[in-house]
Amino acid sequence: MITLYQFPGVWGLPNTSPFCLKLETYLRMAEIPYEIHFVMNPKRSPKGKLPYIKIDGKVIADSELIIDYLKGKFGDPLDKTLDKEQKALTILLDNTFSERLYWIMMYMRWQDEQGWSYIREAFFAKLSTFAKLLIPGMVRKDTQKALYLQGTGRHSFDEILQMGFKTLDAIATILAEKKYFHGSELSSIDATAFGFLANLVWLPYDDALKTHLHQHKNILLFCDRIWSNFYPEMAKPFAIVS
């Protein structure tokens, strides 16, 4: 049995970490049994981040490396029929979500004051009164430092929105009218896409990225479809399609 170590869910989402949600969705799509162990402090994990898994006495961290390992161990039921071009597009799309959209989302959550007000309330609610005086600010400072070193944190709010809108528009264009990103059949990139897009679609407050994304009905239908098929035991936070 695989043990999946990840953050607990908040906001009614299975997980507010796109990478944790990506991995759990992959496990569900690939029908690989697992159990969850919730972790509050990612610094206790092997690489200082979540998710990670334990399997056969091994500890494996990073959602991309975990999925590669699982494909090697259990086979590749989701991507086995993809051609070389589709597999290449999968890698490029995964990078777009993980290395582009992720940092834009982090900026909107941790650097923008509106996003931070919701993050602080939701992510640190279970801390003691004393801990709330120290830990949220420390975590935010560390995250802002990472944003600055990566480069995204050096941009203005308007510049970030311009980048975010371009990225979301490109993702919506690639999905087009297809059921999934590679057509009528599921593939692993759909797990990645859901992990990131669901965290914008069902954001419990209105920000500019969420508002822009909700203009793309194909993205809304895609996210609603994935949730209904793979998280049927969970009620959606709110309806997004009629």
Tell me: the pLDDT tens digits for 78-129?
Answer: 999 999 999 999 999 999 999 999 999 999 999 999 999 999 999 998 899 9
Task: Tell me what the mean pLDDT of segment 152-161 comes to.
Answer: 98
DSSP string, 143-178: HHHHHHHHSGGGS-HHHHHHHHHHHHHHHHHHHTT-
The pLDDT of residue 43 is 85
HSE toward the beta carbon, residue 80, CA cutoff 13 A: 8
pTM for this entry: 0.96
Tell me: the pLDDT tens digits for 195-220?
Answer: 999 999 999 999 999 999 999 999 99
Task: Spell out the domain ranges in the chain.
Answer: 2-230
Predicted confidence (pLDDT) at residue 242 exceeds the cutoff of 80: no
Task: Tell me what the mean pLDDT of segment 58-86 comes to.
Answer: 97
The pLDDT of residue 166 is 98
Query: Which residue, among 108, 116, 113, 197, has the nearest Cα to 155 in the 3D structure?
Result: 108
Confidence bin at 55 (pLDDT 50/70/90): very high
CATH number for the domain formed by residue range(s) 2-230: 1.20.1050.130
For the chain, the average pLDDT equals 96
Confidence bin at 41 (pLDDT 50/70/90): confident
Q: Of how many residues is the chain composed?
A: 242
- The H or E element that residue 19 is part of is helix 18-29
Percent of the chain with pLDDT over 70: 100
DSSP string, 101-140: IHHHHHIIIIISHHHHHHHHHHHTTTS-HHHHHHHHHHHH
Q: Could you tell me which residues come within 8 angstroms of residue 156 by beta carbon, excluding any fewer than 6 positions away?
A: none
> Would you say 104 and 164 are in contact if contact means Cβ atoms under 8 Å apart?
yes
